[in-house]
Chain A
Amino acid sequence: MGKRLNLENTIRGILLLFSTAALVILAIIVVFLFKEGLMLFQHTSVTDFLFGHKWIPAENIYGAFPFIVSTILVTLGALLISVPLGISCAVFLVEISPRWARELVRPAIELLAGIPSIIYGVFALIIVVDVLRVPFNLATGETILAASIILAIMILPIIISISQDSIDSVPRIYREGSYAMGATDWQTISKVVVPSARRGIIAGVILGCGRAIGETMAVVLVIGNVEKLPLSLLDSGETLTSAILLEMGEAVIGSLHYNALFCLGIIPFLIVLVLSMLSSRLITKRVSRFE
């Protein structure tokens, strides 16, 4: 009897250890990120860092404003493309599509989610960049729009699968009630089903948004990496994460440049933190409502 109890306790202990490991790692990363990053502010003021237009490491001038604007533009562009596509795809799969189509599309979407981001990047570099150049009469196709397009494709699976789950979990009686009132298919979808599932859909969009902000590899290949403030989706830009990726290899450890790059990392970290807190709140609320 005592032996069995010991075993129970051992296993419990191991599991506890594993679960705290994730916390400890997170804590170490956060401490490290902020410790290295915040050192920049002994030299540069927060305002200069957030709103400065020039990024010249050789002269210790660190203004991240162009990177911040690029990141926001890229993410908005990606959402603009992927949200309508993703939601309509989810609605179609749950409400309209015949069974065989659903069974064909679902694994395809899962596969899409499993492709490494560097593959998306190379695809975008070879195809999207070239395709954009001619119709828009651009000198180079390496633009924010190219990055938005590839990010949109990358976050589609997230938006589709989470929206799909939440549309799926709208109780059947809602739909039946709507039909019983004489509503058409479209009226039922647009007035009853989608509004009831909106929390889940928004959560999916937010998660996708977080992914888009953090994505680095695919973006760095196609965005051009230009440190100038972008004014439209057809300009080249440089996101926060691509700046880190590009320059970290060459920054001398412990130098101001190194600290500035960590500081760039704090911005997407905070944004993604807020976004994921928002989305997990939305998701838990939805679950409790239907229980």
Chain B
Amino acid sequence: MSKIIWLRILFLLCVIALFSGCVEDNKEEGLVIAGSTTVQPIVVKAVEVYGKNNPDLRIGVQGGGSGTGIRMVGKGSVDIGASSRELSTEEHLKNPGLVTHSIAIDCLIITLHPTNPIEDLSTQQITDIFAGKITNFKEVGGPDRRIVLVIREDGSGTRSTFENMVMNNTEVSDTALQKPANGAIRFTIAGNENTIGYLGIGYIDDTVKAISINGIPPSKENIRKGEYLLSRELYLVTDGEPTGETKKFIEFILSDEGQILVEEEGFISMR
């Protein structure tokens, strides 16, 4: 008899333990931000500076990609989602309350290995290269090297931006190597002289080479004026109009101080 009682108590305890976590999200005083790896450097930098002025506030930053960020803010598991693209229709339908805030201008830069002598490509050449019609750099005035395409994975905000702006309904070649993040693309391009890919401007450094498109180099001025082909806005996403700490943080990024940080990270400020 006592055995049954004990088992019942144990079972009850177990059930309580199982479900106690589900009652509410024990959100402590703090902010959680997740999403696009393109936006992440800005957010990390802003959190670093903002956190110094607000030492009691705990802010967590996670990557995951634009889709994840939007999904998580829609579910309420993070306060702010970061996205490098606008919300899709599907996402809008799922969470009509989501609000986007433009915080910076980014630009995709066509990137080559530093030893590749090519300095400029036309839009048409880029389209043909990524569609797999041009398969050797010598066809566009470069050295005799087979082209290895390096792109982002299906569903990436960076990838859909690129394909919308450059590929106009041509499919990207199915021989392209897919990488899950900007950093991985840079690493791959830096390590193989046959590669071509695209990177957010914040990720350009001297291990890779940025080229001009249609004769227009990716200078800040050209990007701000919208003359360089691949510029786009970056967003923070909230569920409804932001309030409290969320609001203060977004206001901070949009302030003069915040926008200086945006520039420091290699992006273009909204001003």
Contacts and interface: CB of A to CB of B under 8 A. Distances in A.
A73 to B, nearest CB: 16
Interface stretch (B43-51, B60-68, B121-129, B235-243): B60-68
A110 interface: no
Interface string A1-38: 01001100110111011000000000000000000000
Contacts, number: 100
Interface in B144-196: 145-148, 153-157, 160, 171, 174-180, 187-188, 191-192, 194-195
B194 A140 contact: yes
B180 A246 contact: yes
A12 B67 CA distance: 47
Contacts of B153: 225, 246-247, 250
A245 B180 contact: yes
A115 interface: no
Nearest to B66: A250
Contact of A6 (B6, B65, B171, B175): B6
Given A6-B2, A139-B194, A140-B192, A249 B177 contact: no
Nearest to A126: B191
Interface in A23-62: 55-58
Interface string A248-263: 0111111101000000
Given A246-B153, A249-B64, A140 B177 contact: yes
B251 interface: no
A32 B7 CA distance: 28
B177 A228 contact: no
A215 interface: no
A155 to B, nearest CB: 24
B65 A249 contact: yes
A274 to B, nearest CB: 29
Given A13-B6, A13-B7, A246-B153, A227 B174 contact: yes
A142 B178 CA distance: 11
B71 A252 contact: yes
A250 B146 contact: no
B91 A17 contact: no
B210 to A, nearest CB: 21
Contacts of B248: none
Given A57-B154, A133-B192, A225 B178 contact: yes
B94 interface: yes
User: Can you list the 10 inter-chain pairs with the closest CB atoms, starting with the nearest?
Assistant: A250-B155, A250-B67, A225-B178, A139-B146, A249-B65, A246-B153, A228-B174, A9-B3, A224-B177, A140-B148
8 contacts: A10-B10, A139-B148, A140-B192, A225-B179, A236-B175, A247-B155, A249-B68, A250-B154
Interface of A: 2, 5-6, 9-10, 12-14, 16-17, 55-58, 125, 129-130, 133, 139-142, 220, 224-228, 236, 238, 245-247, 249-255, 257
